Structure 1
Amino acid sequence: MIGKAEQRETPEGKWLAEAEIEACRQELEASFLREKEIFEFKRAEILERLDQMEKNTLSEVDAERCTFENRRNDILSSLRAELEKRYETFLSQLRAEELVAELAQECVDSLLTCHAQVREGIA
């Protein structure tokens, strides 16, 4: 046992241990670098997939928005057509000349009544 202990303490024994430690350190460093490279590759893949998912989502949203805008425009167009139809029906049923004549007669009657009341008040 004394021989082994003495052998470790010799500069040659220390040199061998340091070389082993350095080899292990280099092996670990290489392993860490490989792992880091793998993780960076996976990260890049994930980011690429996320970008693609975002593009797909934006495309879907744009398509839905376009669909809804088209539907809205169809509804507004239909509403305008219905309002125009009702307005035309209203105008066709309107007895404008009769109503104007009736209103004019009411105005004349009102003026005559007012004039008669004023005359009576003067007399």
Structure 2
Amino acid sequence: MANTGCLSPGAFLSKVPEFFQTANEKHITVRLTAKRLIEHDPVEGNLEFDSTNHPDYDVSKKASEISVSSRSDREYPLLIRMSYGSHDKKTKCSTVVKASELDQFWQEYSSVFKGGHAEFDQEEEKEE
């Protein structure tokens, strides 16, 4: 899977205030989704996509297991998407974050997110 449309994590974070400002002006919701990114191998296939024959790779079952098998200890990057609007008017962007950089990304995201909300709160107070 060649994620050519993805931004770097830094560029993605710079888009966050823009998305929330536009969504606030239009009174619409910003959606943020995150999921494990698995590169599809059409020739050999992926064990992650065959949970019937390889249940150790099924993430949904891992959460309920007490002991984790060492067979699927590979670290996967995370695909993070942000969007607002719907159908033809949908605006979206995405980024890929390595598992080792995830904590730092969420810290930066939360500070950008909180900074953007402080501006909106001040604007609402001025209007009242």
TM-score (norm 1): 0.22
Q: Which has the higher strand share?
A: 2
* Higher percent of residues as helix: 1
TM-score (norm 2): 0.21
Higher relative contact order (CA 8 A, sep 6+): 2
